[in-house]
Amino acid sequence: MGLVHKHLLVQAKVNAPPLLNYSSERLRLEIENLIKHIDMEILSGPHIAYCDEPNNEGWSGTTIITTSHIAFHSWNTGEIQLDVFSCKDFNKAIVIQWLAQFEPEEVNYQFIDRQKGFKTLDKNSFDVWEKLDSESVCNVQ
């Protein structure tokens, strides 16, 4: 099997986000279930945490899989972001179906096949380059 570079980015507005009373153990098990169903293997994690910072309350989880990573972020406002990146092909529909447990009312996604390349920015076409100076931590060549 050759490596592939598939990246699924999902944004969802849901009616049943995992709130504070949702346990970290439950979210860990749900993410493990997703990983199993897309035929991936866990290398590390899932690492789960709840943020109680005002206007940023919600659950996050990251998992390193043997073929890359999965990141899940939710906010008590009903927003969910899910990122599945793998060097092994996977079924996008299974990932979207996994979100059904949160009762989505809207799901948007972008699927990037990284093997087909990226567009490169012309150094003179992106304004941020003009704001960098010789003292910058980031040395753009």
Q: What is the pLDDT of residues 96-136, one digit of tens each?
A: 999 999 999 999 999 887 776 655 556 555 555 455 554 54
Residue 113: what pLDDT?
A: 79
Residues 23-48: tens digit of each pLDDT:
999 999 999 999 999 999 999 999 99
Query: Is 75 within 8 Å of 57 (Cβ atoms)?
Result: yes
pTM for the model stands at 0.78
Residue 83: what pLDDT?
A: 97
Residue 20: what pLDDT?
A: 80
- What's at 106, amino acid-wise? E
Query: Is 99 within 8 Å of 11 (Cβ atoms)?
Result: no
* Positive or negative: CA dihedral 41, 45, 51, 56: negative
> 63: exposed, middle or buried (C-beta count within 10 Å: 0-12, 13-18, 19+)?
buried
Best CA proximity match to 31, nearest among 98, 104, 110, 105: 98
Query: Is 18 within 8 Å of 74 (Cβ atoms)?
Result: yes
Residues 42-94: tens digit of each pLDDT:
999 999 999 999 999 999 999 999 999 999 999 999 999 999 999 999 999 99
Q: What is the distance between the alpha carbons of residues 77 and 64, in angstroms, rounded to a whole number? A: 27
* Positive or negative: CA dihedral 75, 81, 87, 89: positive
Q: Which of residues 136 and 12 earns the better pLDDT score?
A: 12
Instruction: Count CA atoms within 13 Å of residue 106 on its CB side.
Output: 5
Q: How confident is the model at residue 141 (pLDDT cuts 50, 70, 90)?
A: very low
Residue 2: what pLDDT?
A: 67
